[in-house]
Amino acid sequence: MTNPATPPHYDSEHPTALPFDTLRVVEIGIALWAIALVAALAIPALHEGDRDWWPWVPVAGMALGALGWVYLRRGRGNAAEA
């Protein structure tokens, strides 16, 4: 029986990172926000009355995604010098 206060022993090797393009992931996210913006503007029920602020949510998502894309594109997001 193991003591619940004692953490289990793990191998000291670090797992290898999955190979994927971070810039591509950010670009897909920006594209999805753009689709959400088109939907919010195309469907009147999504931008009239109390929901008049809804189109600004995808605009903010695209703006933050663009900032993240620039950050990664300049090479600061890859932790190369860390």
Residue 49 resides in a domain: yes
Query: In 3D, which of 53, 54, 63, 2 has the Cα closest to residue 29?
Result: 63
Residue 17 resides in a domain: no
SS3 78: helix
Q: Per the confidence metrics, is the pTM higher than 0.85? A: no
- Residue where the block lists tokens 């897909």: 28
Q: Is residue 79 a contact partner of residue 57, using CB atoms and an 8 Å limit?
A: no
Residue 2 resides in a domain: no
Q: Is residue 58 a contact partner of residue 37, using CB atoms and an 8 Å limit?
A: yes
Residue 11 resides in a domain: no
Residue 13 resides in a domain: no
Check residue 16 and give its pLDDT.
78
Dump pLDDT digits (tens) for 27-79: 999 999 999 999 999 999 999 999 999 999 999 999 999 999 999 888 865 66
Residue 3 resides in a domain: no
Domain span at residue 70 reads 22-74
